């Protein structure tokens, strides 16, 4: 029976079909359905106004030509369509990926263990939390789960896009497996930990589709503000007609409807959903699953970042960084001895020594099958080879000295000082010997990742403090922290210490983010405002966190913070621009409306617009077109520079506040000139 389907990579290209903009254009008309549009209160009001003006086109109105009425109505409909198009375009970028993900494992069958220990074939969609399944080489894992027995190589390309297989085994922090990933070798017994519709793949599909995307608290608050402004302007517009009639004049209902639409913040109302969806899409492209939009939004307001040293700040595996020869030994003799002693050492440390020395002192190496390997053991704490009558060893200082029949007092003073310095700097010293002679020392160092210091400096400019969390002793931790450029360090960290630090920061009113993968990280991940778990970590960590990184890259937390800040800054910038827009539109329409009733208001026609009709029509056209112009910015996001909150605020007020005031004056005037030239107003 066919047990699996071909996995689809997370980076799969959209299926051939309509171009994205064409599909979004179709969806823009579909979204005219009031049941869908009611989720965007501003655009719902614009649509109701467009319906109202459509009716007015068929009714005679004093002072308004049918041509102008039709043009205003059409541009109101265009305003709604452009806003729908922006949202559909943002959704469309993820739906192509969602469609490809939906095809993964549709007909997948699973080998479920029965109560008597036997196995039965069942559809994977019928599996429930707690079921145990056996998966063998070449088969897809039918659901998210924990390995309870066995060890196997797993290809996770279907989810992460990473082609290199990873090892999964029972026990420890590498027992979690993801549904629809493929066993490459051996077999696993997996306990399913999610019910249908709750798996990582299901969350990913829901996230990229946006179908289940709940509005974040910030969006809800902004919606309330926009609704409040809409109600205020609705009351303002409703009172204009009584004032006009009191003065002996009359205002056409069509113009009042146009005034309402131009005064309410339609720009941000039309782009708000697109901004949120695009922000989540950027997160998906980072291969991070958000359990809630609140986590992404909180990431943008984070004050403190707790980062594990191993794998985040440092590479995690100690690497050879320097060598020190004993008295009377040349650098070449030490290099050859260390290279031969490490030749068959397949540990990351051994490989780093070989890599370091091959580049530094190339030599003719013996074939691996020509030497007798001496593997490392906890008893000897030595490794090396016997070759051609020669004995080469490397290992811990005390172990090599014992092998040579020496004590620490026999060490040359220069070498002894270097060994002590290595230890104080947080490194690990190894000694190398050949044929009973001490050759020198190797400096193994937990290497700080290149560029990490610069990234921490950027975060500092954004007002974010970084705290390194490590199990190292305070001396070693301080040395690495100084090299990495973090602001603070928690040495000899325990789950209780992490939790206490997070609560201490939160008590001061700060938002805290951290990442982890072990069961001992779960309490801190649950307490943190932004907790990111590694996909290859324990189930406890994944359940406690509100973000899951499918690539299991702890440094991704820095990118998540960047996405969160971009999301908040984009929303704030476009809100500022939208509200500032209304000032210019006020100067365009209000003098035009009351010119015949209050001639003194003509002084407010600072743009010198051709006529009341052209002023109103120009403002309506600008109101619609500005949404189209800002769609790329809403989808791409406002790029933020390293600066603190007050600097970002000043920058946005200058660019988007002042720009929001000036651009409409220029835009409306140009549109007025075009409409007048072609005789449309």
- Annotated catalytic sites, by residue? 308
Q: Is 521 annotated as a binding residue?
A: yes
Tell me which DSSP letter residue 448 carries. Answer: B
Give the orientation angle of helix 645-652 with respect to helix 556-594, to 10 degrees: 30
Alpha helix (H) ranges present in 471-555?
Answer: 474-484, 495-507, 522-527, 539-544
Summarize the chain as % helix, strand, coil (round to 5). 50, 15, 30
Tokens (6 digits) for 456: 């921490």
- How many residues does the structure list for the chain? 681
| Bridge partners, 154 (sequence order) | 166, 183
Q: Is 529 annotated as a binding residue?
A: no
Give the C-alpha separation, 384 to 376, whole Å.
8
In terms of Cβ atoms closer than 10 Å to its own Cβ (0-12, 13-18, 19+), residue 453 is middle
Adjacency order of strands within the sheet including 465-469: 288-290, 547-549, 530-534, 512-516, 304-308, 465-469, 488-490
- CB contact burial 96-120 (16+ within 10 A = b; e otherwise): bbbbbbeebbeebbbbbbeeeeeee
Q: Is 383 annotated as a binding residue?
A: yes
Give the C-alpha separation, 111 to 126, whole Å.
11
Q: Is 91 annotated as a binding residue?
A: no
CB 7 within 8 A of CB 157: yes
Q: Is 382 annotated as a binding residue?
A: yes
What's phi and psi for 290, nearest 5 deg?
Answer: -100, 125
Give the C-alpha separation, 288 to 160, whole Å.
9
Q: Is 517 annotated as a binding residue?
A: yes
Give the C-alpha separation, 312 to 532, whole Å.
13
Give the C-alpha separation, 635 to 273, whole Å.
10
Q: Is 424 annotated as a binding residue?
A: no
Q: Is 345 annotated as a binding residue?
A: yes
Q: Is 496 annotated as a binding residue?
A: no
CB 321 within 8 A of CB 528: no
CB 149 within 8 A of CB 133: no
What SS3 class is residue 55? helix
Q: Is 379 annotated as a binding residue?
A: yes
Binding positions for Mg(2+) = 517, 521
Binding positions = 345, 349, 376-383, 394, 517, 521
């Amino acid at each position: 029976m066919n047990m699996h389907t071909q996995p689809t990579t997370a980076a799969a290209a959209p299926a051939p079909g309509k171009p994205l903009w064409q599909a979004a254009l179709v969806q823009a008309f579909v979204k005219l359905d009031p049941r869908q549009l009611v989720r965007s209160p501003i655009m719902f009001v614009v649509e109701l106004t467009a319906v109202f003006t459509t009716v007015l086109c068929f009714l005679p109105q004093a002072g308004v030509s049918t041509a102008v009425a039709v043009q205003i109505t059409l541009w109101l409909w265009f305003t709604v369509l452009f806003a729908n198009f922006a949202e559909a375009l943002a959704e469309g970028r993820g739906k192509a990926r969602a469609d490809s993900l939906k095809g993964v494992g549709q007909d997948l069958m699973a080998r479920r263990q029965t109560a008597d220990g036997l196995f039965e074939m069942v559809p994977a969609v019928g599996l429930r939390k707690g079921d145990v399944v056996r998966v063998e080489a070449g088969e897809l894992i039918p659901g998210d789960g924990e390995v309870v027995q066995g060890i196997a190589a797993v290809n996770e390309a279907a989810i992460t896009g990473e082609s290199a297989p990873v090892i999964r085994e029972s026990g420890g922090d590498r027992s979690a497996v993801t549904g629809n990933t493929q066993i490459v070798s051996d077999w696993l017994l997996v306990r399913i930990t999610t019910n249908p519709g709750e798996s990582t793949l299901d969350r990913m599909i829901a996230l990229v589709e946006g179908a289940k995307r709940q509005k974040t608290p910030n969006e809800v608050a902004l919606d309330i503000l926009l609704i409040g402004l809409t109600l205020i302007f609705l009351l303002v517009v409703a009172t204009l007609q009584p004032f006009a009639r009191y003065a002996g004049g009359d205002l056409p209902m069509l113009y009042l409807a146009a005034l309402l639409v131009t005064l309410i913040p339609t720009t941000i109302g039309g782009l708000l959903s697109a901004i949120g969806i695009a922000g989540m899409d950027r997160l998906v492209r980072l291969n991070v699953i958000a359990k809630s939009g609140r986590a992404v939004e909180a990431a943008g307001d984070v004050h403190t970042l707790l980062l594990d040293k191993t794998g985040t700040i440092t590479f995690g595996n100690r690497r050879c960084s320097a060598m020190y020869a004993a008295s009377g030994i040349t650098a070449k003799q030490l290099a050859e001895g260390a290279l031969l002693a490490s030749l068959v050492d397949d540990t990351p440390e051994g490989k780093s020594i070989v890599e370091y020395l091959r580049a530094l002192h190339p030599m003719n190496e013996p074939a691996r099958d020509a030497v007798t390997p001496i593997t490392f053991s906890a008893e000897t704490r030595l490794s090396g080879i016997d070759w051609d009558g020669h004995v080469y060893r490397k290992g811990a200082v005390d172990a090599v000295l014992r092998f040579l029949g020496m004590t620490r007092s026999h060490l040359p003073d220069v070498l002894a000082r270097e060994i002590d310095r290595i230890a104080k700097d947080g490194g690990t010293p190894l000694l190398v010997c050949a044929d009973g002679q001490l050759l020198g020392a190797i400096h193994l160092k937990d290497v700080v990742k290149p560029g990490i210091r610069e990234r921490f400096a950027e975060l500092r400019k954004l007002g974010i403090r970084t705290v390194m969390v490590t199990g190292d002793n305070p001396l070693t931790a301080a040395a690495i922290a100084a090299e990495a450029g973090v602001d603070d360090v928690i040495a000899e960290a325990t789950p209780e210490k992490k939790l206490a630090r997070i609560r201490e920061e939160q008590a001061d009113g700060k938002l805290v983010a951290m990442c982890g993968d072990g069961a001992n990280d779960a309490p801190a991940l649950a307490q943190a405002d932004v907790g990111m778990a590694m996909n290859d970590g324990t189930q406890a960590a994944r359940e406690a966190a509100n973000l899951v990184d499918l690539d299991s890259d702890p440094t991704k937390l820095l990118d998540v913070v960047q996405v969160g800040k971009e999301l908040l800054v984009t929303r704030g910038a476009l809100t500022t621009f939208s509200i500032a827009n209304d000032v210019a539109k006020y100067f365009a329409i209000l003098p035009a409306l009351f010119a015949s009733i209050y001639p003194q208001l003509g002084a407010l026609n600072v743009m010198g617009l051709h006529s009341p009709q052209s002023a109103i029509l120009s403002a309506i056209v600008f109101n619609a077109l500005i949404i189209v112009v800002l769609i790329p910015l809403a989808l791409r996001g406002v790029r933020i520079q390293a600066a603190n909150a007050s600097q970002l605020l000043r920058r946005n007020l200058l660019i988007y506040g002042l720009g929001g005031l000036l651009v409409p004056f220029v835009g409306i005037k140009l549109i007025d000139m075009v409409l007048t030239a072609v005789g449309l107003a």
